[in-house]
Amino acid sequence: MLDTKFWRKYFEVYDILNVVIPYQELMKELISKLEIKGGDFILDAGSGTGNLAIMITKKGGRVIGIDFSEHGVGCHKKKDVGAEVICCDLTKSLPFQNNYFDKIVSNNVLYTISLEKRLDVVKEFYRVLKPSGKIVISNVREGWKPAIIYKDAIAKEYQKNGSIKTLIKIIKLIIPTLRMLYYNSKIKKEGAGINSKFFSENMEKIGKELKII
């Protein structure tokens, strides 16, 4: 089960992602899609160890991170003592009033939440988002394979830094990488599952106009 115990273990190695090119590219893309303007008030839903929230803060946004993992919240605060982070469960009512945030971002979180609860989570996002607001969500695709993502990361590293640096990095990160692959295989097996049509199928129930990119 993907409970807080699972995430606690995963977070022991999670931040090696910060030196992995596809993760860096994904973060950059999310930041670009958010089109952050100074003072934007942004919710990072499922903020984990704070990687994205910290980047948003550096771009001038004010972020509130929420995550149900106390350990994740602790890691986030260690990296950014001033971070505003709340430990709470996304599948329950969010502790914010209606129309509160300018923007909401959620990176690789929804696919870990059960399909029955996922719709309520998204409805809560819309409740706390200002009517003129924007939501940016990323999720892995249906049929994703941790080993293929790893191969892609190595190929990108090789292209950018050449064979020697890539080999050194692989060796340095071998243990945490194996652990990551293990946790990802657990997410695949025990996670809630991907439904790439989730938003298009639920548009009416969400009751909002969605632009799916």
Q: Which residue is nearest to ligand SAM (CB)?
A: 48
The binding track of 10-29 with respect to ligand SAM, each residue x by CB under 6 A or -, is --------------------
3-class SS of residue 83 = coil
Is 48 one of the binding residues for ligand SAM (CB under 6 A)? Answer: yes
With b for 16 or more beta-carbon neighbours within 10 A and e for fewer, the 162-181 pattern comes to: eeeebeebeeeeeeebebbe
Contact 72, 49 (CB under 8 A): yes
Count of beta carbons in the 10 Å neighbourhood of residue 47: 29
Minimum distance, C-beta of residue 29 to ligand SAM, in the bound complex (Å): 12
102 binds ligand SAM (CB under 6 A): no
Amino acid at site 195: N
**Residue 196 binds ligand SAM (CB under 6 A):** no
From 73, 83, 112, 157, residue interacting with ligand SAM (rule: CB under 6 A)? 112
Give yes or no for residue 72 binding ligand SAM (CB under 6 A): yes
By CB under 6 A, residue 90 contacts ligand SAM: yes
Supply the minimum distance, in Å, between the C-beta of residue 164 and ligand SAM.
29
**Residue with Cβ nearer ligand SAM (79 or 134):** 79
46 contributes a contact to ligand SAM by CB under 6 A: yes
- Residue 147 and residue 157: Cα distance in Å, rounded? 15
φ/ψ bin of 2: left (φ > 0), alpha (ψ from -120 to 50), beta (otherwise) = beta
Amino acid at 191: G
* Candidate list 109, 136, 137, 180; residue touching ligand SAM; CB under 6 A: 109
Minimum CB–partner distance for residue 167 and ligand SAM (Å): 26
Q: Does 91 bind ligand SAM (CB under 6 A)?
A: yes
CB atoms within 10 A of CB 69: 22
Residue 65 makes contact with ligand SAM by CB under 6 A: no
**Residue 140 contacts residue 188 (beta carbons within 8 Å):** no
Do 47 and 22 contact (CB within 8 A), yes or no?
no
Where do contacts with ligand SAM occur on this chain (CB under 6 A)? 7, 46-48, 51-52, 67-69, 72, 89-91, 107-109, 112-113
